[in-house]
Structure 1
Amino acid sequence: MTPTTPAVASTLSRWGVLAAALALTATDLVLKAVAEQQLTSAPGPRLLGLLELRLTYNPGIAFSLGAALPAWIIVAVTGLITAAVAAYTWRTAPTTPLGGRLGLAGVLGGALANLIDRGLDGVVTDYLHTDWWPTFNLADAFIVCGAVLLVLTTAREPAPAPSKDPAPWT
């Protein structure tokens, strides 16, 4: 096995998190398209174990907050938040433990998927419903699970040493 330099390891961890985030984004977008096609061709909820498949569209942010705002404002705000998450992910991935990098990938992948979905028609497609929680989608689950994993990983690990990489954004 060839030893890698810290710069190469930093680059690999950054690109690995990005690749995982893009894979999660693609997975969510494909499932949203399938759910929309299936649930519009045969309307009505479908049981899926503890979940029910029910097609809804969210014009707002989480829990339809801001639904009365123009779509371009919601897209702009979520785009800025997604860009901030991407920048944070790129900056911290080299010093974040594996569990945290998986959490970062989940948060970024879910945010990107919902941003792309919203950018297409001004709404986010939701299709997973429980009797005790608002209807959501897989991207929402990626964001929540990723954030929980990131918090748990951060709480368990000592603070990382500052990066000695002179060009952290490259």
Structure 2
Amino acid sequence: MTEAEQAIGTPDAGKAEEGAGTSAAGSGEAAEGKGKRRVGVLLAVAALAYLIDLTSKLAVVAKLEHHAPVEVIGSWLQFEVIRNRGAAFGFGEAMTIVFTVIAVGVIVVIARLARKLHSLPWAIALGLLLGGAFGNLTDRIFRAPGDFQGAVVDFIAPSHFAVFNLADSAIVCGGFLIVILSFHGLDPDGTVHKD
């Protein structure tokens, strides 16, 4: 429709306005669908991080526990199974139940954020956090002594650094990505703000 037809109010103008309304409703539906797709990405990343962590822990416990450390890159990087009752990287061993409660809290916060998630980078970051939290929480629930006080299996042992696992790595990478996204002003709902 030309500008002249719009100015004089031809019958096609009403149809154009209806189409614009339909288009606005369609874009709202598209935004909702986009949010759902982002939740799917979050869940896929979380499941992948969780499965990789779980598989690695099962393998190292079966093959490496009660054995000498395995050199991966000389003395710079070794695989050595250690049972950690504390937080990531071996901190706070006397506070196992506190870290279990924190992990459950992180999972609840991520579930609440997922409702308004429209950003792919945030979906990836939250998925890494969720998968890592579930990985270590599984150890705390099911490994000895149990009752939410189980020891987490750590096995990646760089020289002059704490021993950790892939769940710890996922948590740190997800947290680092969230810091970068926040620094750049990108919110989980996909909006960008400048301070």
TM score, norm. by length of structure 1:
0.79
Q: Which residue in the other structure is 1:14 paired with?
A: 39
Does residue 59 in structure 1 map to residue 81 in structure 2? no
After superposition, the Cα gap between the structure-2 partners of 1:155 and 1:27, relative to the gap in structure 1 and judged at 3 Å, is same
Q: Deviations over 1:21-76 (max 9, x none)?
A: 111101110111101111026x011111242101001111234444224x545433
Q: Which residue in the other structure is 1:38 paired with?
A: 63
Q: Which residue in the other structure is 1:120 paired with?
A: 142
Gaps of 5+ in 1: 163-170
Query: Which one scores higher on RCO, CA 8 angstroms, separation ≥ 6?
Result: 1
Pairwise CA RMSD of aligned residues? 2.4
Instruction: Verify the 8 A CA contact 2:90 2:162 in the aligned structure 1.
Output: no
Larger Rg: 2
Superposition misfits of 4+ residues, deviation over 6 angstroms: none
- Cα distance in 1, alignment partners of residues 54 and 105 from structure 2: 20
Instruction: Verify the 8 A CA contact 1:29 1:113 in the aligned structure 2.
Output: yes
Instruction: Verify the 8 A CA contact 1:75 1:118 in the aligned structure 2.
Output: yes
Q: Which amino acid aligns with 2:78?
A: E
Q: Which residue in the other structure is 1:107 paired with?
A: 129
Report the identity percentage: 26
- Cα distance in 1, alignment partners of residues 177 and 85 from structure 2: 28
Does residue 131 in structure 1 map to residue 159 in structure 2? yes
Q: Which amino acid aligns with 1:48?
A: V
Q: Which amino acid aligns with 1:130?
A: P
1:7 CA displacement: 1.2
SS at match of 2:117: helix
Q: Which residue in the other structure is 1:167 paired with?
A: none
1:110 CA displacement: 0.8
Does residue 152 in structure 1 map to residue 180 in structure 2? yes
Instruction: Verify the 8 A CA contact 2:88 2:164 in the aligned structure 1.
Output: no
For residues 84-99 of structure 1, the aligned pairs below 5 Å read 84-88=109-113, 90-94=114-118, 96=119, 98-99=120-121
How many residue pairs get aligned? The number is 155
For residues 63-74 of structure 1, the aligned pairs below 5 Å read 63-69=89-95, 71-74=96-99
1:150 CA displacement: 2.2
Instruction: Verify the 8 A CA contact 1:29 1:117 in the aligned structure 2.
Output: no
SS at match of 2:80: strand
Q: Which residue in the other structure is 1:23 paired with?
A: 48
After superposition, the Cα gap between the structure-2 partners of 1:148 and 1:72, relative to the gap in structure 1 and judged at 3 Å, is closer
- Cα distance in 1, alignment partners of residues 174 and 88 from structure 2: 16
